[in-house]
Amino acid sequence: MISFFSAEKCLDKISWFIFLYWQISWNLVSKHLLLLLWISWVHFFSLSSQVDTTAACYCTVETLTVVGARSSRHCSTQPDIKDGRIRVRINNPHKKKPSSETKRSITKQLLPPELIPGLPNDLAVSCLVRVPRMYHRKLRLVSRKWYRLLTSNYFFSQRIQFGMAEEWIYVIKRDRDRRRLSWHTFDPRHQMWHPLPPIPPEYSEALGFGCAVLSGYLLFLFGGKDRLKGSMKRVVYYSPRTNRWHHAPEMLRRRHFFGSCVMNNCLYVAGGECEGVPRSLRSAEMFDPSKNKWSFIADMSTAMVPFIGVVYKGRWFLKGLGTHRQVMSEVYTPATDAWVPVSDGMVSGWRNPCVPFNGHLYALDCPDGCKLRVYDHITDSWKSCMDSKLHLGDSQALEAAALLPVGGKLCVVRNNLSMVLVDVANSGGGKEWETIAGKGHFKSVVSTLWSNISGRNKHKSNIVHCQVLQA
């Protein structure tokens, strides 16, 4: 039972009740007065049951009235008017209030975590985006919030939007003595080498594997030949955002010494060899990262072991050795899914690494990479483009292993890990050739001293693959 007390109404009701009781006491036999007494009693409690919702009041709560409230205890009630309905909130004064630490923890859960204390997250992201890439490896170690931010697609999209994305050169080289692979990355802006996590064990001594870049920042290694297991169809990739290696779906066919390229952000492989197969392969396949799936494409016209390839004007050109070790070339068109043999024009004078750049096709014209050629599609022939006039020689250590587009220029990478930037857009200015990396520079003092003592300070490695990753 709930009894409510309101000063004015209660005084009027009590006086009226006393008056009726006095009348009945004088005439107890009157049935009409008894009936009047009963009606007044019911009317009294019907009026008292109406709750005043305009202000707070105190009430006595029985055990079964409110769940969780104790019997015969006073609770403060506050009306809550919402959507035309009245809801009474009951606050138990005997309930333990939350501590300040609990309130702070609840506030932290409700509010987004601050990347930098005292700054909104949008300003914090704007600051971190402008930090040079060479410090990102250390920034990821600050906290989990920073790690999640620096490994997210949003962070690198902001770096690209603000023009802060940097291109680094990744070099995979093989030691001739131990025949093991190692790799390093070079920062052209600050001209510094940086360490990388080890190459996966399955590729530490592999031969004839492919290397390509998808989405501008994912480095894929695929196929190849293991010294113990033979030909592989394994696929792994490296992400500079996480600085880790990951596994990807395997190829459909085992192969090594094959050709590969990237078109429309899809990875293509063709030809090569397979252990146990007496002849070269004709099969070709494609990996679509959006579907995360490999699928076969049209077979080549003839079996081939490619040794050079390039993508030019939406077509894939391959040049290699046939079944009888004859030189042959083919071109693949993705729109028609067809291979066509070619033997003249661009392919006839094509013998060194080349790369498309600003709508033109450039190639190296000498072993040391001190001269460049450009393909003229009007005359369907190669022409001399630029000459540094500083020829280094024909030694294997000075041989140019790759030609890459970096920062709006062409980069020549040699086996001794020296690099030269060539500004083909400003030909004739006198400063087209710029050396950004010397030879052998990231050896430690101990390893260099030991090489001098043992007489092994000569060139003992060669470059297998070179790629550019953006982050």
Q: What CATH number has the domain bearing residue 140?
A: 1.20.1280
Task: Examine the fold and report which residue of 91, 122, 138 is the final residue of a domain before the chain moves on.
Answer: 91
pLDDT band at 106 (very low <50, low <70, confident <90, very high): low
**Spatial distance between the Cα atoms of 210 and 240, rounded to a whole number of angstroms:** 19
Show the domain range for 154.
Answer: 114-161
Which residues are bridge partners to 184 per DSSP? 171
Which residues are bridge partners to 221 per DSSP? 211, 236
What residues contact 440, with CB distance under 8 A and at least 6 apart? Answer: 416, 417
In this structure, what DSSP letter does residue 47 have? H
**Same domain, yes or no: 202 and 188:** no
Both tokens of residue 208? 């004839």
**Spatial distance between the Cα atoms of 324 and 448, rounded to a whole number of angstroms:** 45
**Same domain, yes or no: 191 and 204:** no
pLDDT of residue 344: 82
Q: What's the gap between Cα 397 and its chain centre?
A: 36
418-460 pLDDT per residue, tens: 999 999 887 665 678 888 887 654 443 344 434 444 344 444 6
Both tokens of residue 302? 């003839």
**Same domain, yes or no: 329 and 391:** no
Averaged pLDDT, 229-245: 93
pLDDT of residue 12: 54
For residues 372, 376, 382, 387, the Cα torsion angle rounded to the nearest 10 degrees is -20
Domain assignment present for residue 177? The answer is yes
Among left, alpha and beta (phi > 0; psi -120 to 50; other), residue 408 is left
Among residues 253, 237, 186, 260, the alpha carbon closest in space to that of 414 is found at 186
**% the chain with pLDDT above 70:** 70
**Spatial distance between the Cα atoms of 463 and 398, rounded to a whole number of angstroms:** 11
pLDDT of residue 403: 94
Averaged pLDDT, 295-307: 94
pLDDT of residue 18: 54
**Same domain, yes or no: 297 and 393:** no
Collapsing DSSP states into helix, strand and coil, what is residue 139? helix
pLDDT band at 318 (very low <50, low <70, confident <90, very high): very high
**Same domain, yes or no: 154 and 213:** no
CA 435 vs CA 5, 410, 438: distances in Å: 95, 12, 7
Tally of CB atoms within 10 A around 436: 17
Collapsing DSSP states into helix, strand and coil, what is residue 35? helix
Averaged pLDDT, 233-239: 96
Collapsing DSSP states into helix, strand and coil, what is residue 237? strand
Note if the pTM is more than 0.85: no
Domain assignment present for residue 58? The answer is yes
**Same domain, yes or no: 286 and 228:** yes
27-60 pLDDT per residue, tens: 544 444 445 445 554 444 444 444 343 333 333 3
Residue-averaged pLDDT of the chain: 78
Which residues are bridge partners to 117 per DSSP? none
Of the CA atoms within 13 Å of residue 428, those in its CB half-sphere come to: 0
Q: What CATH number has the domain bearing residue 263?
A: 2.120.10.80
For residue 84, give the H/E element and its range: none
**Same domain, yes or no: 230 and 157:** no
Instruction: Count Cβ atoms within 10 A of the Cβ of residue 431 and give its class: 0-12 exposed, 13-18 middle, 19 or more buried.
Output: exposed
**Same domain, yes or no: 172 and 157:** no
Collapsing DSSP states into helix, strand and coil, what is residue 283? coil
- Contact between 339 and 330 (Cβ < 8 Å): yes
Domain assignment present for residue 348? The answer is no
- Per the structure, the count of domains in the chain is 4
Give the residue carrying structure tokens 């596994």.
247
**Same domain, yes or no: 133 and 172:** no
Which residues are bridge partners to 305 per DSSP? 321
**Same domain, yes or no: 258 and 320:** yes
Domain assignment present for residue 375? The answer is no
Among left, alpha and beta (phi > 0; psi -120 to 50; other), residue 230 is left
More reliable by pLDDT, 231 or 52? 231
Long-range pairs, 330-333, Cβ under 8 A, ≥24: 330/300, 330/301, 330/302, 330/304, 332/268, 332/270, 332/284, 332/297, 332/298, 332/300
**Spatial distance between the Cα atoms of 401 and 364, rounded to a whole number of angstroms:** 10
